[in-house]
Amino acid sequence: MTLKKYNPETLYSAHGQYYNAIEVPPGTTLIYSSGIIGCDTSGEVIKDAPGQIRQAWLNVKAFLDGTGCLPQDLVRLKMHLTNRANLELSKAARIDALGSHMNAAVTGIVMGLFDPELFIEIDVIAARSD
């Protein structure tokens, strides 16, 4: 499956490693995640920001693996961080877990998440050919 990716000349240039829009072809199954957080397989939240952020991105990879998708099947990521200082750490962890694949993306810096121990939450949409 090939996703059609857009950075229209009539729109501002992307400010990072993402596309302004992605078109999903007909006959494709869309898979939506719940918020993916930085906890281990037992459900324990990783306590330190670097470890938790790294684990969250590994969990995005596990989500993709578990749904029969690859990083290039990502359509959109919405990432919420509780501290702007963790942006570069998150970017490096994403590249380590998923490679340099580009998708449509939103990043928000939020005052808090549902669990006050969380530093990051990631919402994912992937597309799979059946």
Give which of 106, 98, 92 is closest to 72, Cα–Cα. 98
pLDDT tens string 31-70: 999 999 999 999 999 999 999 999 999 999 999 999 999 9
Structure tokens that stand for 100 in this block: 């340099």
In this predicted model, what pLDDT tens digit does every residue of 11-34 receive, in sequence order? 877 677 778 888 888 989 999 999
Tokens representing residue 58 in the block? 């590994």
Average pLDDT, the chain: 92
**What is the pLDDT at residue 76?**
93
Q: Which two three-digit tokens encode residue 51? A: 């470890």
Q: What is the pLDDT of residue 99?
A: 94
Task: Answer whether residue 1 shows pLDDT above 80.
Answer: no
Lowest mean pLDDT among 8-17, 65-74, 99-108, 117-126: 8-17
State residue 95's pLDDT score.
Answer: 95
Listed in order, strand segments (DSSP E) in 9-119 are 21-23, 28-32, 74-81, 104-109
Identify the CA nearest to 110 among candidates 101, 123, 121: 121
- Mean per-residue pLDDT for 93-104? 91
